Amino acid sequence: MYINFLTSSSFVEFPSSSRDLFLCVNILIIIGGGREIKMGGRINGFDWVKGKIVGSGSFGSVHLAMNRSTGGLFVAKTAHSDAGHEALQNEVNILNTLKNSSSSSSQSPSPYIIQCLGTEYDHQDNNNKLHVFMEYMAGGSLADALHKFGGSFDEHVVRLYTRQILLGLYHLHQQGIVHCDLKCKNVLLSSSGTVKLADFGCAKRIGKDSHTNKSPSSGGTPLWMAPEVLLLRNGKEERVVDFAAADIWSLGCTVIEMATGRPPWVHDDLVSISNPMSAMFKIACGDGIPQFPSHFSQEGFDFLRRCLVRDPNKRSTAKDLLNHPFLVANTLTYHKPYCNASPAAVLDVHQFEDDYDDDGEEKLPSPAGRNKFSFGNEFVSPQVKTIWQQEDSASGNHWITIRSW
């Protein structure tokens, strides 16, 4: 049996034996300009064309790309530094772990987590440059959408996006994985209104017990990080941290970001602090929490209260929050695209626009227990005297999205 490989200049047939296959791969690297393409753990070559740049950062770049054989669109992420390569390789490992877990358990992949389509090592000039192929999300990041569409989302839209983000987090935590850098820049939007968790450069596989005393090696973004993670990261205390609970804190910060268009801890009435370390210290060692959006409903206030608890042992879990009235009201609307893309749209590529599939969603906790949530009349709005608009994140600057619509 032979495996067919079509290069730009020749057609190669691979023998199925491992020894001969290894020899042919080495030959292919020579005749193919030094490119060794790996897709889904198998050698499955294809010609692809690099298009315009859609994202860039201090560690790498993201290009729109097209499969010459099928016309399918995807993005190619390329690292340009050792730190960027490490983060990108970590992202591939995490996404492959999720993929393998779904395959072994006969479960469908989560529709709320970005899919890795494959990797390619470019051996030209002996630099072993890593390209990672990801599904293309035409809407860019939620941070892009906030910038382009008025600076904040209506609460109804915040509920829609928050539920999908939480479904993605729930799936991650069920697989013993924590994201460690959740924010609007790392949540991507499709043209149909589906959002997906992305940028897993800081993510860690913790196991079913999400407690550890090790900080994420690539860091995170301090304004979105839980206080206990900042303490651990800066060596202020020796403690075991529940990183799944830390993801929930970051979720609360992301909800505030969606509702206000600004990072958490940043308000017009606060004094600007130019020293990031001072801001980190106050977040980690103070007793306040980010200010809530003043226009939010009581359900929204209560949801944030349960996310932004400084004691991680008292924070709600993803499983608990999926039953919260903030997310379950008018549940049917959360599972249908609220914006139908035109079938004639240039970027409407079916294989990269995964609409919600009732059969594909994993079993979730029953909403029967949601009556345990009650709302108080008090509005948690502590006076926080810090502001910091700079981000200090090794992964946060990986991919500054510049997508156009």
Residues marked as binding?
77
List residues forming the annotated binding site for ATP: 77
Residue 316 CA to residue 318 CA, distance in Å, equals: 7
Residue 367 CA to residue 163 CA, distance in Å, equals: 13
Rg (CA), the chain: 22
Q: Residue 87 in 3-state DSSP?
A: helix
Contact 135, 115 (CB under 8 A): yes
Cα angle value 241/374/155 (rounded, 5°): 80
Name the β-bridge partners of 196.
Answer: 188
Sequential DSSP letters for 306-356: HH--SSGGGSPPHHHHTTSHHHHTTGGGGGS-SSPPPTT-TT--GGG----
Closest CA to 255 of 292, 286, 280: 292
Contact 180, 243 (CB under 8 A): yes
Contact 373, 331 (CB under 8 A): no
Active site (catalytic) residues:
181
CA 399 from chain centre, in angstroms, equals: 12
Which residue type does 70 have? T
How many Cα atoms sit within 13 Å of 12 on the Cβ side?
24
